[in-house]
Amino acid sequence: MDTITVRKMPFEFPDEIDPVIFEGNHKQSFGFIAGSLLLPHLEPYLIRSMKAAEEHVTDPKILDGLKRFAAQEGQHYRMHMKFNATVRRSGFPGLDALEKELSDDYHRFSETKSLRFNLAYAEGFEALTMNAIKQMMEPDGFGEDLPVFMQMIEWHFVEELEHRTVAFDVYDHVCGGYFYRLFVGIWAQWHFTRWIRRATAYMLKMNPPPKGNAKTAVENGMTQPPARASIRDQISAVWRIYLPSYTPHSVTIAPGIDRLARKYTAMAIKTS
């Protein structure tokens, strides 16, 4: 897990998909989809922030990490756009307005906020998601015979773990400062999780769970959402990212994730 491999993946999605991707679980299904809808707005913003930082980076190792981070995120959001187009064909016209609001926010941040703010936002996002991914995926990923959208998520999450130190290092190298990173990071986490909650609530309103115990049909092949760690484990994992001593360099990744990284490298159309 010490190398950052850029993989171009061959995933293709059906024309239409039942948006209830986890059987009988509208809330988690729409939560996952909202996360996917967020990324083609958020990840290009992260890339813009990294590109703006590039001229200030004098350490060749950090510079190489920055470029690989940007290249991985570029693959991620393009793939999510393909998946999102499939989801959008199943309805939810109000998502347009929600996405426009988000896109406007991120363009405004790039144009009007300081580089320090934008890099602290990036690290706030990366730190929280890296910890959430570890909770969801370790020790061995989501299992065998995954539907294609879950393979996409797994590939994406593996790469998030691969580049887990980059945003932290770039912020530290170019700007630095614990308290600023802490406060902007917490605000960033509120900002993007709030959007996910709003998009999820909208989808639930448009496509509410059936009353009683009726289950929805599943044609997607994934019957259950990824297991979540206990609340206690989640709190202890998330808490550490707010401590002054936190560094993603000391985060260990389970060996099973390395195996997944090799699997997705073998599946890729192209790697660099």
Closest contact distance (angstroms) between CB of 230 and Fe ion is 25
Token digits of residue 44? 């290009």
Among 26, 48, 68, 76, the residue binding Fe ion under the rule CB under 5 A is: 76
Closest contact distance (angstroms) between CB of 65 and Fe ion is 12
Instruction: Report d(CA 86, CA 195) in Å as an integer.
Output: 20
Closest contact distance (angstroms) between CB of 72 and Fe ion is 6
Closest contact distance (angstroms) between CB of 165 and Fe ion is 11
Rank residues 49 and 220 by Cβ distance to Fe ion and give the closer one.
49
Among the residue ranges 65-73, 90-98, 138-146, 257-265, the one whose residues contact Fe ion (CB under 5 A):
65-73
- Going 4 to 188 to 28 to 13, the CA torsion angle's sign is negative
Give the chain's radius of gyration (CA, Å).
Answer: 18
Rank residues 99 and 160 by Cβ distance to Fe ion and give the closer one.
160
Size of the site for Fe ion (CB under 5 A): 3
- Nearest alpha carbon to residue 32 among 147, 183, 138, 159: 147
- Tokens 């002054």 correspond to 244
Among the residue ranges 81-89, 105-113, 156-164, 223-231, the one whose residues contact Fe ion (CB under 5 A):
156-164
Query: In the complex, which residue's CB is closest to Fe ion?
Result: 76
Say if residues 181 and 130 touch (Cβ distance below 8 Å): no
- Nearest alpha carbon to residue 260 among 176, 137, 121, 133: 137
Interacting residues toward Fe ion by CB under 5 A: 73, 76, 160
